[in-house]
């Protein structure tokens, strides 16, 4: 028997941009998608699809899991990675020796 798991064990997004996760439960059994730091607790009925939209503000690595009893222990966990927003860096050059 194959262990229950999320098909995607890593999700990578960018900080400061809204993200929509489409949670697709392809099983005839209820699951859930939970991520405590973002206060996300989305139950997924059998064969249900749910979309959640939120805005990760701070970069970092966050743990998601399934809160159905026993599932987290069985390996229904993953990592939600929030990459820092690219800073718009502009060169500001001071040429040496032109005026002295």
Q: Which is nearer to Cu ion, 21 or 76 (CB)?
A: 76
DSSP 51-84: EEEE---S-EEEEEE--STTTTTTT-EEEEEEEP
Least CB distance from residue 8 to Cu ion, whole Å?
Answer: 14
Contact call for residue 31 and Cu ion (CB under 5 A):
yes
Q: Which is nearer to Cu ion, 31 or 80 (CB)?
A: 31
Contact call for residue 68 and Cu ion (CB under 5 A):
yes
Least CB distance from residue 64 to Cu ion, whole Å?
Answer: 11
Report the C-alpha gap between 56 and 19 in whole angstroms.
Answer: 8
Judged by the rule CB under 5 A, the positions of this chain that interact with Cu ion are 31, 66, 68, 71, 76
């Amino acid at each position: 028997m194959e262990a229950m798991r999320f098909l995607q064990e890593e999700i990578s997004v960018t900080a400061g941009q809204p993200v929509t996760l489409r949670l697709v439960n392809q099983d005839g059994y209820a699951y859930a998608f939970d991520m405590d730091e973002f206060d996300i607790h989305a139950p997924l009925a059998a064969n249900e699809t749910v979309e959640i939209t939120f805005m990760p503000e701070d970069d970092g690595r966050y743990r998601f899991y399934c809160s159905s009893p026993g599932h987290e222990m069985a390996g229904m966990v993953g990592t939600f990675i929030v990459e820092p927003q690219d800073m718009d860096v502009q060169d500001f050059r001071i040429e040496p020796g032109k005026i002295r």
